[in-house]
């Protein structure tokens, strides 16, 4: 099926650990995003990648680093995890252009203990 | 992007039309109105967008007032599966890679 997929779906880890979340899209889109949805359900943009170039970094701590090995993948690496990093992380993609909508993945629920 | 205001929650009976309002009084000429929804525990889903003309697709209709300061998303025959948080987002047509700015949205509850 054509879609945006994320792995893992759930991630439970200890404070101070380093973890990665993977995202893949097979829609042929050229722009990918990471969003964070906190416990209060606010959805906020974290990063976007367009043609392997970081476009936006919305005041995200530098412990978070997006890595795009190719146009179909945008992985999120998180170093030295903190309790406040617990959230649901959504990956999304779109084809650049003025009207094209974003397609979201199913989310990864990260719990930091 | 212009700010939007939506009621925090609404109820609608199954089978009836659900009308979700959105105010965007500071919208500028090149900004579009987008609607997304998020069903519980899922990623947001695109519904529809428009500039100034009314729009309709297989999911919904979008009615934008003539002054463009407000809009209404209409789900013509709501089902239980339409229970979700609905987000009204105003975004420029620049086509850049910037992400979407989500507000608090409207939690629509479809009652059986």
Show the 3-state SS of A7-19.
Answer: ECCEEEECCCCCE
Average pLDDT over residues B27-55: 93
Average pLDDT over residues B87-99: 76
Name chain A contacts of B97, Cβ cutoff 8 Å: 31, 48-50, 55-56, 96
Average pLDDT over residues B82-101: 82
Contact B97 A55 (CB under 8 A): yes
How far, in Å, CA of B40 to CA of B79, rounded? 15
- Cα of first residue to Cα of last residue in chain A, in angstroms, is 35
Average pLDDT over residues A94-107: 88
Q: Residue A53: what pLDDT?
A: 76
- Report which of residues A96 and B98 the model is more confident about: A96
Q: Which helix (DSSP H) or strand (DSSP E) does residue A33 occupy?
A: strand A31-37
Name chain B contacts of A44, Cβ cutoff 8 Å: 102
> Confidence class of residue A1 from pLDDT cuts 50, 70 and 90?
low
Residue A100, pLDDT above cutoff 90: no
Average pLDDT over residues B56-75: 96
Q: Which of A50, A56, A104 sits opposite B45 (nearest CB)?
A: A104
Q: Which residues contact A88 (CB under 8 A, 6 or more apart)?
A: A36, A37, A107, A108, A109, A110
Name chain A contacts of B44, Cβ cutoff 8 Å: 43, 90, 92, 102, 104
Q: Residue A55: what pLDDT?
A: 76
Mean pLDDT, chain B, integer: 92
- Cα–Cα separations (whole angstroms), residue A67 to A37, A53, A78, A113: 20, 10, 11, 25
Whether A55 and chain B come into contact, CB under 8 Å, resolves to: yes
Do you find a cis peptide bond into A8, omega within 30 degrees of 0?
A: yes
Least confident of A65-74, B23-32, B43-52, B97-106: B97-106
Name chain B contacts of A106, Cβ cutoff 8 Å: 42-43
* B contact residues 45-74, partner A, Cβ 8 Å cutoff: 45-46, 49
Name chain B contacts of A4, Cβ cutoff 8 Å: 43
pLDDT in tens, A32-74: 999 999 988 889 999 888 876 787 676 789 999 999 999 899 9
Mean pLDDT, chain A, integer: 91
Whether A13 and chain B come into contact, CB under 8 Å, resolves to: no
Average pLDDT over residues A81-91: 97
User: A68 vs chain B: nearest CA distance in angstroms?
Assistant: 15
Average pLDDT over residues B85-111: 85
Q: Residue B95: what pLDDT?
A: 52
Q: What angle is formed at CA B38 by the lines to CA A26 and CA B87, rounded to 5 degrees?
A: 110
Q: Residue B92: what pLDDT?
A: 77
């Amino acid at each position: 099926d054509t879609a945006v997929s994320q792995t893992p779906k759930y991630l439970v880890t200890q404070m101070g650990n380093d973890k990665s979340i993977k995202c893949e899209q097979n829609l042929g889109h050229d722009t990918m995003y990471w969003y964070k949805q906190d416990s209060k359900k606010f959805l906020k943009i974290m990063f976007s990648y367009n043609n392997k170039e970081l476009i936006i970094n919305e005041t995200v701590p530098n412990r978070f680093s997006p890595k795009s090995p190719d146009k179909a993948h945008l992985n999120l690496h998180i170093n030295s995890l903190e309790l406040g990093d617990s959230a649901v992380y959504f990956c999304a993609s779109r084809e650049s252009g003025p009207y094209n909508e974003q397609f979201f993945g199913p989310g990864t629920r990260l719990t930091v203990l | 992007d212009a700010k939007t205001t939506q009621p925090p929650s609404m109820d609608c009976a199954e089978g009836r039309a659900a009308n979700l309002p959105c105010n965007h009084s500071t919208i500028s000429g090149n900004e579009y109105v987008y609607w997304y929804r998020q069903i519980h525990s899922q990623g947001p889903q695109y519904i529809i967008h428009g500039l100034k003309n009314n729009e309709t697709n297989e999911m919904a209709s979008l009615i934008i007032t003539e002054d463009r300061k407000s809009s209404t998303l209409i789900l013509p025959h709501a089902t239980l599966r339409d229970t979700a948080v609905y987000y009204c987002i105003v975004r420029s047509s620049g086509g850049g890679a910037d992400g979407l700015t989500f507000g608090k949205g409207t939690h629509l509850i479809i009652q059986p």
